[in-house]
Amino acid sequence: MPQPHGAACVACASAGRCAEALHASQIVDALRHMPFCVQYMQQLQDTMVFRFCAIPQIMAAGTLAVCYNNGKVFEGKRTRRNEDEKRAPRFSWFFTHPGVVKMRRGQTACVFDSCANMGDLLTWFMQFLDILKAKVDNEVDDSDPTLEQAKKAVTANLDLCQTELNQV
């Protein structure tokens, strides 16, 4: 059973890193769905249906890799409200927009161009899991309460993808 998100937040509250811990906990929790995704995708027979389902899953895995341990997720940009919003007194004068962190357009185009079968899906998953592994191994502080869970989840998913890729 995954650790509740609140536990990660409480563990880092004294350090003032609650948002980062909560974010990492959510990403680690999302990784537990990858085996079910692989299992579902293996059942799809039609190539067009497979692509329709696979591309969003690859994009989700890529987004997890890009967002994990990325402080830009929490950066905001202040903008003035437009004229219609100025009339609404319940809103503040400035809005803070969360940082937009997403896969690069070129990488997204490559996903669309090179996803036709289970081998492609697993290869993309492994690429993004390798990015996550590098972040977990090299960038995450040892005091992070989600570190051990992240290591286990990434390793388990890498092993699963490699095993399935060998069978394709």
19 lies in a domain?
yes
If DSSP codes are grouped into helix, strand and coil, which group holds residue 12?
A: helix
Residue with tokens 């503040």: 92
Domain containing residue 18? 5-72+100-167
Tell me what pLDDT residue 89 has: 44
109 lies in a domain?
yes
135 lies in a domain?
yes
80 lies in a domain?
no
132 lies in a domain?
yes
84 lies in a domain?
no
- The DSSP string of 37-68 is HHHHHHH--SHHHHHHHHHHHHHHHHHHHHHT
Tell me what pLDDT residue 135 has: 92
Report how many domains make up the chain: 1
Whole-prediction pTM: 0.76
Can you give the CATH number for the domain in which 66 is found? 1.10.600.10
79 lies in a domain?
no
Tell me what pLDDT residue 168 has: 83
Tell me what pLDDT residue 39 has: 97
Tell me the pLDDT of the chain (168 aa) as tens digits.
454 544 544 444 444 566 677 778 888 999 999 999 999 999 999 999 999 999 999 999 999 998 888 877 777 655 555 554 444 444 333 334 456 677 888 888 999 999 999 999 999 999 999 999 999 999 888 888 888 999 999 999 999 999 999 998
Contact 108, 66 (CB under 8 A): no
150 lies in a domain?
yes
